[in-house]
Amino acid sequence: MRLRRAQINIEVVLVYFVVKVTAGQERVAANMLQNKLAKANVPIYSIMIVEGMRGYLIVEAEDEVAVRTFITKERNIRGVLPKPLNDDEVNKLVETENLSQMVENGDTIEFVTGPFKGYKAKVIRVDEVKDDITVELMDVPVPIPITTKGSTAKVVQKASKNTA
């Protein structure tokens, strides 16, 4: 007589939930939850801090009940948003656009944030490793080279490729 073992394939569907935390305490809350996760056996797979989403964390888990029970009675945690995020929304949040790869020497950029907001400048040097760009401000009496993060500027005009 032979016994057959039935193989059961269970596919776990992971869902992303947005957890509200005290603004500015995202890293503290994430570290606290990570330490708690290491000690507990719960169906939570990742905790993400998304730059630009002040006051929120994204938690990847099997279901909302697991997230709600996991975060109860924790400091700096305010609750869970009722609607989970889909994969496309999470990918948009997590993707980082590396502007320094799009910027080349000679391009004209415009600052979108910071003290030089609205100023136009010409790109002198691009450091792709650090995501820094060195520019010279235009429309100023004395052009001063300024090094800034690539995320503070947008390309207004690409450098002409014509070399005669």
Give span(s): CATH 2.30.30.30, the chain.
99-157
The arithmetic mean of pLDDT across residues 134-162, rounded, is: 85
pLDDT-derived band at 36 (thresholds 50, 70, 90) equals: very high
The arithmetic mean of pLDDT across residues 21-29, rounded, is: 93
pLDDT-derived band at 4 (thresholds 50, 70, 90) equals: low
Give span(s): CATH 3.30.70.940, the chain.
15-94
pLDDT-derived band at 112 (thresholds 50, 70, 90) equals: confident
pTM over the 0.75 mark? no
Identify the pLDDT of residue 152.
Answer: 84
Residue 140 predicted with pLDDT over 60:
yes
pLDDT-derived band at 162 (thresholds 50, 70, 90) equals: low
Query: Which of 93, 97, 95, 105 is closest to 160 using CA atoms?
Result: 105
Q: What pairs with residue 11 in β-bridges?
A: none
Topology (CATH level 3) of domain 99-157? SH3 type barrels. (2.30.30)
pLDDT-derived band at 52 (thresholds 50, 70, 90) equals: confident
* Structure confidence by residue, pLDDT tens digits, 55-107: 999 999 999 999 999 999 899 999 999 899 998 888 888 776 555 557 888 99
Identify the pLDDT of residue 163.
Answer: 44
For domain 15-94, give the CATH number. 3.30.70.940
Q: Considering only CA atoms, give the Rg of the chain.
A: 24
Per residue, what are the HEC states of the chain?
Answer: CCCCCCCCCCCCCCEEEEEEECCCCHHHHHHHHHHHHHHCCCCEEEEECCCCCCCEEEEEECCHHHHHHHHCCCCCEEEECCCCECHHHHHHHHCCCCHHHHCCCCCEEEECCCCCCCCEEEEEEEECCCCEEEEEECCCCCCCEEEEEHHHEEEEECCCCCCC
What percent of the chain stands above pLDDT 90?
Answer: 44
